[in-house]
Amino acid sequence: MQLILRKGLWSGRGSVLTEGASLGQSITLDGEVVDELDGLTITGAISGSYSVPISVRVAPNEVGTYIIDARLGKVALDGIAKLESEPNHALLWHEAGIYSASVSLFSIGGGLGCRGFFRDAKGALTWEMQLQPKQQAVGGANVVSLARRRR
């Protein structure tokens, strides 16, 4: 599976705009993408004006699309996605039709852009976020860096 969202630790910053509001509310994301034999698992948490743990499972199906099983806090969503070319796009829904969402991922300088909509009985909201891979520190008593340090 060759997707634009790669395995590793990710962080994100963005905003959520609720229906009828003129200003967005800040959100952040800390997450991890794990590449498994039959798909990807994404876990993490959104914090800020909306705080919720997330868990997403993405796996290819037999017709060339991807199946999604997502948990946003207590909300369970199923979905389908096209992920082999940009922009990546997913459509998610709750089995009873209470919730629905769409999500798009696309490359931007220094990371990925993520945009989407979420709708429930109270109305709709939209979000935008820039995702960046986190640098993982490599340490050890026997590690020597020959790169010049920035001051």
Please tell me the predicted confidence (pLDDT) of residue 147.
56
* Residue 75 CB-density burial (10 A; 0-12 exposed, 13-18 middle, 19+ buried): middle
**And the tokens for 55?**
């868990």
10-residue mean pLDDT profile of the chain (151 residues): values are: 84 93 92 92 94 95 93 95 93 93 94 95 93 75 58 50
Please tell me the predicted confidence (pLDDT) of residue 47.
95
d(CA 151, CA 144): 18
Please tell me the predicted confidence (pLDDT) of residue 118.
94
Instruction: Look at the pTM and tell me if it is higher than 0.85.
Output: no
Domains along the chain with CATH numbers: 8-133 (2.40.128.20)
